[in-house]
Amino acid sequence: MAIKIDFNITSNPYFIRVEDFSDWGVIEAQPSIIEIYLPGDTSPVTHYFDKKKTNVFDSINLIAQCEDCTDVNRIPLADGIYVIKVIGSPSTYNKELKFLKTDLMEMEIDKLFIENLHCQNIESFKNQMTEIEFLLRSAEAHLRYDQEKMARMLYEQVERKVEKLKDCKNCSECE
C-alpha cells in the first residue's frame, strides 16, 4: 500500500480541527507529529498527531503565553493564515497545507449585516458588503493556489474595510 498523507482542516472561533484521511501504509504503527504555525509566527507549535482521528487544537494547547487558559477559560484563536504540516516517521512522508481562518471576521461581518439591514442607503451597504465578501473569497482562493502573499494582502483589505464599516454611525457615510 502506498503512503499518502492527507487531511482536512476546519475551524470555529475557539478550535481548529485537523481530520486525518491518510493512507499510512507500512508506517501506520510509527509515531507522527503535527506542526502548526500560528498567523505571523516563525516557529511552529508541535504536537503528536493521532492517525485516523480528528485532532483538535485550541488556545490551551496552541498558545503557550496564555497563562489564564483553562478548560473553561479558552480564548478565541486569531484569524489569519495557519500553516499546518503533518509529518510521518520517517519525516520524508509529510504534507503541508495553508489555512485561512476567518471565524472571528465572519462574526464581525454577521454583526454588520444585522446592524445595517434597515439602513437608509441599503444599496451602498450592499455594494460594500459585496466587495468585502468578494475580497474574502479571493483571499481564500489565492491561498488554495499557494499564493500566500496575495492572500494575506487581500485579507488585510477585508480587515480594513470591515473596521471602516464598524466605525460608521450611518451605513451611507462610509462610501
- CATH code: domain of residue 85: 2.60.40.10
Give the pLDDT confidence score for residue 137 in this predicted structure: 97
63 and 119 in a single domain? The answer is no
Same domain, 110 and 97: no
- Share the mean pLDDT of the chain: 91
Distance, CA of 166 to CA of 76 (rounded, Å): 20
More confident residue, 117 or 145: 145
pLDDT at site 136: 97
Spatial CA neighbour of 109 closest among 81, 147, 82, 79: 79
Report pLDDT for 74. Answer: 81
pLDDT of residue 42: 94
Same domain, 96 and 108: no
Domain, as residue range, for 152: 103-167
CB 83 within 8 A of CB 133: no
In a domain, 173, yes or no: no
The grid coordinates listed for 1 are 500500500
| Neighbouring C-alpha atoms within 13 Å toward the C-beta of 158 | 25
Residues 70 and 122 in one domain: no
Phi, psi of 51 (to 5 degrees): -70, 145
- Residue carrying C-alpha cell 503557550: 64
Q: Would you state the pLDDT for residue 119?
A: 79
Query: Based on the domain organization, do 119 and 42 belong to the same domain?
Result: no
pLDDT tens digits for range 15-67: 999 999 999 999 999 999 999 999 999 999 999 999 999 999 999 898 755 56
DSSP state of 77: P
Asked whether residue 145 carries a pLDDT value surpassing 60, the answer given is yes
Q: Is there a single domain that holds both residue 94 and residue 115?
A: no
pLDDT value at 169 more than 70: no
Q: Which of 62-71, 76-85, 111-120, 130-139 has the lowest mean pLDDT?
A: 62-71
Model pTM? Answer: 0.89
Same domain, 69 and 154: no
User: Going by DSSP bridges, is the β-strand pair 94-101/80-87 parallel, antiparallel, or unpaired?
Assistant: antiparallel
Per-residue pLDDT band for 71 (boundaries 50, 70, 90) equals low
| Residue 113 forms part of a structural domain | yes
Say if residue 120's pLDDT is above 80: no
> Three-class SS of residue 18?
strand
Is residue 143 domain-resident?
Answer: yes
Q: Name the grid cell of 91.
A: 519525516
Rg (CA), the chain: 19
Please name the residues in contact with 134: beta carbons below 8 A apart, sequence gap of 6 or more. none
